[in-house]
C-alpha cells in the first residue's frame, strides 16, 4: 500500500497550494517533522474530494486548546464533586439495597460515571475519550432529562436524612435536575471543539448505517435506563437465593412485589418526551459541532494536532494544542 506524506508548512500554516501538493504527494514539512498518512485515509479522501473547499481561501486561524485550562480543570472537578454528593445523599436516605435501585439513583450513577470517564480520558487516557463521547454521553444526557420529566422523588429527596451531623448535612446539599442539565451543557459547550473532533473522526470512518444507528441509540438511551430500573428488584431477590436465604423468611418476596408495583408508575408520555428531547437534542448538537470539519491529523492524540474546517467562505487551518 502506497503512502503519501502529509506535511504542512510553517508550523501548521496552510499555503494556497497545499491541496494540490497533497494530491501530488509532495513533501511538505511541519517544523522539520513529517506527518505521514496513507493515501486511502478517509480524512485525506474527504479533503481532496471537497472541491468547494479546495477552491476557497485558506487561512491560518488561532490555536485552539483541546485540553483543559486550569480553571476548566477545577470547574469539572467541582461538577464531579457536586454530582457525587447528590448521589451519596440519595444513598444515605434509605436502606442501601433500596436506594441503589431508585430511578434517581440509577440516573445519577450514569451522569456521575460519564463526568468521571470524560475527565479521566481527556486528561490521562486519550484512547478512551471517543468511547466516552460516542457511547456514554447519550445515556448521561438521557438520564438528566429523565430526572426532569419523571422527577426524583422516588428515593433521592423523598426520604429525610437521619441524624443531622455535619457529614450528613453536607451530603444533603443536593443539586436539582435543572442544575444537572446545566452542568452537562457547560461541559458540552466548553469542550465543544474536542467533542466535535471526536465525533467527526468516528463519523467519517463509519458507514451511513452506523451513523443513523447511533442516532437511534441516542433516542433509545432513556428507554434502556427505565428498563434497567424496572428490572432492578430481581437483583436483590437473586442475591438472597444465592446466599441461601429463603425468600419467605428474608422478606424478599414482599419487597420484590412492592418494588415491582412501584416501578409501574412512569407514564408513557413522559418517557416518550424524555426519549425524543434527549435523543433529538443530542443528535442535533453533535451534528452541529462536527459538520464543519474536513480533516484532522494528530501528532499526539488530544495533545498536538491539526484541524481543517470551513467557516463562511474560508477554509481554516487550526492548530490543536
Residue 256 domain-assigned? no
Q: Note whether 180 and 202 are same-domain residues.
A: yes
267 with 138, same domain: the answer is yes
Rounded to the nearest 10 degrees, how much is the dihedral formed by the CA atoms of 137, 141, 146, 149? -160
- Per-residue model confidence as pLDDT tens for the chain (321 residues): 333 333 343 334 444 445 555 555 544 344 444 445 555 666 666 666 665 555 566 677 788 889 898 999 999 999 999 999 888 887 876 677 777 888 888 999 999 999 999 999 999 999 899 999 999 999 999 999 999 888 754 433 333 334 444 544 455 455 778 888 999 999 999 999 999 999 998 888 877 788 888 889 999 999 999 888 888 777 665 655 555 555 444 455 555 566 655 555 667 788 888 999 999 999 999 989 888 888 787 878 898 888 888 777 677 778 888
Q: Judge if 29 and 170 occupy the same domain.
A: no
* Whether 269 and 174 share a structural domain: yes
**138 in a domain, yes or no?**
yes
- Assess if residue 243 is contained within a domain: no
In a domain, 241, yes or no: no
User: So what's the pLDDT on residue 211?
Assistant: 81
306 in Cβ contact with 8 (< 8 Å): yes
CA 56 – CA 69 distance, rounded (Å): 33
Rounded-to-integer distance, Cα 229 and Cα 248, Å = 24
Q: CA of 280: how far to CAs of 113, 249, 272, 308, in Å?
A: 22, 48, 12, 27
- 127 domain-assigned: yes
Answer whether residue 253 is part of any domain: no
User: pLDDT digit string (tens) for 7-58?
Assistant: 343 334 444 445 555 555 544 344 444 445 555 666 666 666 665 555 566 6
Position 298 scores a pLDDT of: 81
Q: N- to C-terminal Cα distance for the chain?
A: 31
d(CA 12, CA 14): 6
- The residue segments making up the domain with residue 51 are 3-66+303-320
Residues 217 and 95 in one domain: yes
In a domain, 220, yes or no: yes
3-state secondary structure of 251: coil
Structurally, how many domains does the chain consist of? 2
Residue 248 resides in a domain: no
Q: Are 91 and 46 contained in the same domain?
A: no
Domain match, 133 and 281 both: yes
Residues 46, 178, single domain; the answer is no
Same domain as 179, residue 107: yes
* Model pLDDT, residue 190: 93
What confidence score (pLDDT) does residue 46 get? 66
**Pair 37, 174 in one domain:** no
Give the pLDDT of residue 270. 85
Residues 282, 308 within the same domain = no
213 and 121 belong to one structural domain: yes
SS3 content of the chain, % helix, strand, coil (to 5): 60, 10, 25
Contact 12, 30 (CB under 8 A): yes
Q: What is the pTM of this model?
A: 0.78
CA-to-CA distance for 277 and 142, rounded, in angstroms? 8
Amino acid at each position: 500500500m502506497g503512502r503519501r506524506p502529509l506535511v504542512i508548512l510553517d508550523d501548521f500554516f496552510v499555503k494556497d497550494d497545499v491541496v494540490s501538493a497533497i494530491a501530488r504527494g509532495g513533501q511538505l514539512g511541519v517544523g522539520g517533522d513529517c506527518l505521514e498518512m496513507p493515501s486511502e485515509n478517509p480524512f485525506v479522501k474527504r479533503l481532496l474530494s471537497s472541491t468547494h473547499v479546495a477552491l476557497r481561501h485558506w487561512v491560518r486561524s488561532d490555536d485552539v486548546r483541546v485540553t483543559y485550562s486550569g480553571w476548566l480543570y477545577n470547574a469539572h472537578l467541582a461538577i464531579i464533586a457536586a454530582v457525587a454528593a447528590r448521589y451519596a445523599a440519595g444513598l444515605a436516605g434509605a436502606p442501601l439495597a433500596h436506594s441503589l435501585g431508585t430511578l434517581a439513583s440509577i440516573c445519577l450513577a450514569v451522569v456521575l460515571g460519564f463526568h468521571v470517564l470524560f475527565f479521566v480520558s481527556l486528561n490521562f487516557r486519550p484512547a478512551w475519550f471517543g468511547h466516552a463521547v460516542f457511547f456514554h454521553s447519550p445515556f448521561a444526557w438521557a438520564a438528566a432529562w429523565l430526572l426532569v420529566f419523571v422527577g426524583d422523588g422516588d428515593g433521592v429527596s423523598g426520604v429525610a436524612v437521619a441524624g443531622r451531623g455535619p457529614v450528613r448535612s453536607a451530603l444533603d446539599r443536593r443539586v436539582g435536575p435543572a442544575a444537572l442539565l446545566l452542568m452537562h451543557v457547560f461541559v458540552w459547550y466548553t469542550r465543544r471543539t474536542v467533542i466535535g473532533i471526536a465525533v467527526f473522526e468516528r463519523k467519517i470512518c463509519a458507514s451511513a448505517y452506523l451513523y443513523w444507528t447511533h442516532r437511534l441509540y441516542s433516542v433509545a438511551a432513556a428507554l434502556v435506563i427505565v428498563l434497567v430500573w424496572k428490572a432492578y428488584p430481581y437483583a436483590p431477590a437473586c442475591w438472597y437465593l444465592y446466599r441461601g436465604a429463603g425468600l419467605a423468611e428474608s422478606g424478599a418476596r414482599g419487597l420484590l412485589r412492592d418494588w415491582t408495583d412501584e416501578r409501574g408508575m412512569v407514564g408513557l408520555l413522559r418517557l416518550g418526551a424524555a426519549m425524543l428531547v434527549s435523543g433529538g437534542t443530542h443528535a442535533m448538537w453533535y451534528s452541529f459541532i462536527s459538520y464543519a470539519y474536513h480533516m484532522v491529523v494528530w501528532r499526539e492524540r488530544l495533545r498536538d494536532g491539526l484541524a481543517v474546517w470551513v467557516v463562511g467562505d474560508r477554509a481554516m487551518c487550526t492548530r490543536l494544542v
